[in-house]
Structure 1
Amino acid sequence: MLRSRSPWSLAALLVGLTVVAQALLVPLFAAPAAHLAPRDLPVAVAGPPAAAELAARLAAARPGGFAVTTLPDAAAADRALRGREVYAAFVAGPDGVALHTAPAASPTVAALLTEAAGQLSGGSPVPVTPVVPADPDDPRGAGFAAGFLPLALTGMLAGALLTLLVAGRVARFAGLIGYAVVAGGVGVAVLHGWLGLVDGDPWREAGAIGLFSLAAAGTVAGLGALLGRAGIGLGALLVFLVGNPLSAVAAAPELLPQPWGTVGQFLPVGAGGTLLRSAAFFDGAGAGRSLAVLAGYALVGLALVLIGRRSGGLGEAPVSRPARAEVTV
Structure 2
Amino acid sequence: MNTLQRAIALGFGAALIQALMLIAFAWPAANMAPRDLPLAVTGPQAPMVTEKLNQFSPGGFEITSPADEAAARQAIKDREVYGAILTGGGAPRVLIASGASPAVAQQLSAMAQQLSGAPAAAAVEDVVAADPDDPRGGAYGAMVLPLVMSGIAGGVLLSLLVSTVTGRLVGLVTFGIAGGLLSMLIIQGWMSIVPGPYLALAAVAGLVSFAVAGTLAGLATVIGQPGIGLGALTMLLIGNPFSAATSAPEMLPQPWGAIGQLLPPGAAANLLRSVAFFDNAGATKPLVVLVIWAALALTLLALGFLKSRGATPAEPASSPKSDPVPA
TM-score, structure 2 normalization: 0.91
Q: Contact (CA 8 Å) 2:180, 2:206: kept in 1 or not?
A: yes
Partner of 1:142: 138
Looking at structure 1, the residues matched to 7 and 91 of structure 2 have their Cα atoms a distance apart, in angstroms, of 68
Looking at structure 1, the residues matched to 225 and 163 of structure 2 have their Cα atoms a distance apart, in angstroms, of 14
Q: Contact (CA 8 Å) 2:102, 2:135: kept in 1 or not?
A: yes
Over alpha carbons, which structure has the higher Rg?
1
The amino acid of 1:6's aligned partner reads T
Looking at structure 1, the residues matched to 181 and 73 of structure 2 have their Cα atoms a distance apart, in angstroms, of 32
Gaps of 5+ in 2: 309-317
Give yes or no for the alignment of 1:113 onto 2:108. Answer: yes
Give yes or no for the alignment of 1:50 onto 2:42. Answer: no
Partner of 2:23: 27
Looking at structure 1, the residues matched to 287 and 205 of structure 2 have their Cα atoms a distance apart, in angstroms, of 11
| 1:312, distance to aligned residue in structure 2 (A) | 11
Paired residues for 1:174-253 under 5 Å: 174-253=170-249
- Bigger shift: residues 113-122 or 77-86: 113-122
1:97 aligns with one of 88, 92, 95: 92
Identity over the aligned pairs, expressed in percent? 44
The CA RMSD over aligned residues, in Å, is 1.9
Give yes or no for the alignment of 1:158 onto 2:154. Answer: yes
The amino acid of 2:135's aligned partner reads P
Q: Contact (CA 8 Å) 1:192, 1:202: kept in 2 or not?
A: yes
Q: Secondary structure at the match of 1:308?
A: helix
Which stretches of structure 1, 4 residues or more, deviate above 2 A after TM superposition?
Answer: 309-314
1:266 aligns with one of 249, 262, 268: 262
TM-score, structure 1 normalization: 0.90
Paired residues for 1:1-40 under 5 Å: 5-22=2-19, 24-40=20-36
Give yes or no for the alignment of 1:256 onto 2:258. Answer: no
Looking at structure 1, the residues matched to 235 and 216 of structure 2 have their Cα atoms a distance apart, in angstroms, of 8
The amino acid of 2:201's aligned partner reads E
Q: Contact (CA 8 Å) 1:191, 1:197: kept in 2 or not?
A: yes
Q: Secondary structure at the match of 1:248?
A: coil
Looking at structure 1, the residues matched to 130 and 202 of structure 2 have their Cα atoms a distance apart, in angstroms, of 19
The amino acid of 1:16's aligned partner reads G
Partner of 2:313: none
Q: Contact (CA 8 Å) 2:115, 2:122: kept in 1 or not?
A: no
The amino acid of 1:13's aligned partner reads L
Cα deviation, 1:216-235, whole Å, max 9, x if unaligned, reads: 11111111111111100011
The amino acid of 1:88's aligned partner reads G
Cα deviation, 1:42-64, whole Å, max 9, x if unaligned, reads: 010122x2222222221122110
Looking at structure 1, the residues matched to 139 and 59 of structure 2 have their Cα atoms a distance apart, in angstroms, of 31
